[in-house]
Amino acid sequence: MNTIVISTDCLSEAAKLIQQGETVVFPTETVYGLGADAFNPDGVLKIFQAKNRPADNPLIVHVSSLSMIEEVSSDFNETAKTIASHFMPGPITLVLKKSDCICDAVSAGLSTVGVRFPKHPVAQELITKSGTPIAAPSANISGSVSATTFSDVYRDLNGRVAGIVQGDDCEFGIESTVLDVTGDTPVILRPGSVTLEMLQAVIPTTRLHPSLVAGTKVEKPASPGMKYTHYSPKAEVFLVTGEMNNIISHFENHLKDSECLFLFLEEYDSFSKNKMCLGTKSDLNQMAHLIFRLLKQADLDGYQTIYIPAVAEEGVGLSVMNRLKKSSGGKVLSL
Ligand code: AMP
Ligand code: MG
């Protein structure tokens, strides 16, 4: 397929493709999205084909106003409205009862739909110009690492979609928080940059789905997408635990040429070998912003193994660790 690269000042061209039932990749504040008209089943099917996405993994529907939520959901309830008034537009997806105009391909046959109102001006303008909600999962081949820069998304999807909007690097760098607001209390199905703590400050009863609580065994994944292998670079990934001094001295002696260590700014200069910087450990939003970019860079650089220091599972650290536990397949090196 011939893929057109579209600049952010020519979004009418991208909107035309959406209206014609084609796929367009566009930047958002979380990761790049791979979109099509949410009301066009043929267009939606092309998303699944471009990504090799399993059909039972529902898509998030992107809107450009709160009033548009009423078009895609039959029950934009009071809890949802409260959350929306605090966090929308922004990096959060609300799971709501779907309206009849959401087809089975989008919802994967569920009675609910994930709805997101992105903050990114390019995403907003594209949705408005298209005149329709846009269904969009992360713009990557299923199972691999989500793209957060134009060059990464171009490398992954050129030839597989009709258009790619050339935007800047994504601000948050990890996918949206997915919050189920169909029940009595809000439940986080996927942690993101809107954290449990931020949500509890607004609705104190907000909780994590049991599958996200360490040590809890559950039969069902939090949401269909959470059961798949995900966020995997070609390289093998290990999470590393232990005192930073021990980690540094271990790898000074043992890191091979084909291996790379991710480090925080605070230790970065004290290590002399193959390394990439995760930003400061005092603000894990920097790690979230960088992590997918660095995993992809490590693959491009030909590393076969990546070691990443584990962080405390609180705040955005919970969200980053959620991704990295999947990237690593749960492999941990304790030093
Ligand atoms: P992605 O677009 O690649 O970030 O994936 C979307 C995520 O949202 C997947 O984990 C889906 O399973 C989840 N999701 C989308 N719609 C729903 C829904 N109606 N109920 C539960 N989870 C959903
Ligand atoms: Mg994804």
Answer for the pair 187, 101: CB distance below 8 angstroms, yes or no.
Answer: no
C-alpha closest to that of 316 among 193, 187, 198? 193
Task: Let me know whether 290 and 163 are in one domain.
Answer: no
Task: Let me know whether 154 and 295 are in one domain.
Answer: no
- Going from the Cα of 42 to the center of ligand 1, the distance in angstroms, rounded, reads 20
Work out the burial of residue 275: count CB atoms within 10 Å of its CB; fewer than 13 is exposed, 13-18 middle, 19 or more buried. middle
Give Cβ neighbours of residue 132 (< 8 Å, ≥ 6 apart): 18, 19, 37, 38, 39, 40
Task: Let me know whether 120 and 254 are in one domain.
Answer: no
DSSP 105-155: HHHTT-SEEEEE----HHHHHHHHHHTS-EE--BSS-TTSPPP-SHHHHHH
- Going from the Cα of 56 to the center of ligand 2, the distance in angstroms, rounded, reads 13
State the Cα–Cα distance between residues 29 and 87, nearest whole angstrom.
13
Task: Let me know whether 198 and 249 are in one domain.
Answer: no
Which residue type occupies 58?
Answer: P
Is the previous residue joined to 27 through a cis bond, with omega within 30 degrees of 0? Answer: no
- Going from the Cα of 139 to the center of ligand 1, the distance in angstroms, rounded, reads 13
Q: Is 138 in the pocket of ligand 1 (CB under 6 A)?
A: yes
Between helices 316-327 and 284-300, what is the axis angle to 10°? Answer: 20
CA distance to 19, 136, 148, 262, per residue, from 127 (Å): 10, 11, 19, 37
119-169 pLDDT tens trace: 999 999 999 999 999 999 999 999 999 999 999 999 999 999 999 999 999
**Beta sheet of 259-263, edge-to-edge order:** 275-277, 259-263, 305-309, 236-241, 332-334
| Best mutation site among 62, 223, 326 for ligand 1 pocket (most ligand atoms within 8 Å of CB) | 223
Lookup: tokens for 8: 């952010």
Output the pLDDT for position 228.
63
Name the region of 308 (left: φ>0; alpha: ψ -120 to 50; beta: rest): beta
Domain, as residue range, for 113: 4-214
State the Cα–Cα distance between residues 92 and 114, nearest whole angstrom.
10
State the Cα–Cα distance between residues 146 and 228, nearest whole angstrom.
14
Tell me, yes or no, whether 48 lies in a domain.
yes
Tell me, yes or no, whether 169 lies in a domain.
yes
Task: Let me know whether 141 and 75 are in one domain.
Answer: yes
- For residue 33, the ligand 1 atom closest to its alpha carbon is 2
Closest ligand by atom to 230 CA: 2
CATH number at residue 31: 3.90.870.10
Tell me, yes or no, whether 120 lies in a domain.
yes
Total domains in the fold of the chain: 2
Output the pLDDT for position 295.
98
State the Cα–Cα distance between residues 34 and 107, nearest whole angstrom.
16
Which residue type occupies 82?
Answer: T
Output the pLDDT for position 220.
75
| Low pLDDT (below 50) residues in the chain | none
CA distance to 14, 230, 280, 314, per residue, from 89 (Å): 21, 26, 27, 23
Lookup: tokens for 250: 């271990």
Output the pLDDT for position 231.
82
Name the region of 137 (left: φ>0; alpha: ψ -120 to 50; beta: rest): beta
State the Cα–Cα distance between residues 278 and 15, nearest whole angstrom.
36
State the Cα–Cα distance between residues 317 and 98, nearest whole angstrom.
31
Nearest CA to ligand 1 atom 21: 223
Task: Let me know whether 35 and 103 are in one domain.
Answer: yes
Task: Let me know whether 94 and 209 are in one domain.
Answer: yes
Answer for the pair 136, 60: CB distance below 8 angstroms, yes or no.
Answer: yes
Lookup: tokens for 222: 């939090």
Task: Let me know whether 44 and 188 are in one domain.
Answer: yes
Tell me, yes or no, whether 130 lies in a domain.
yes
Which residue type occupies 333?
Answer: L
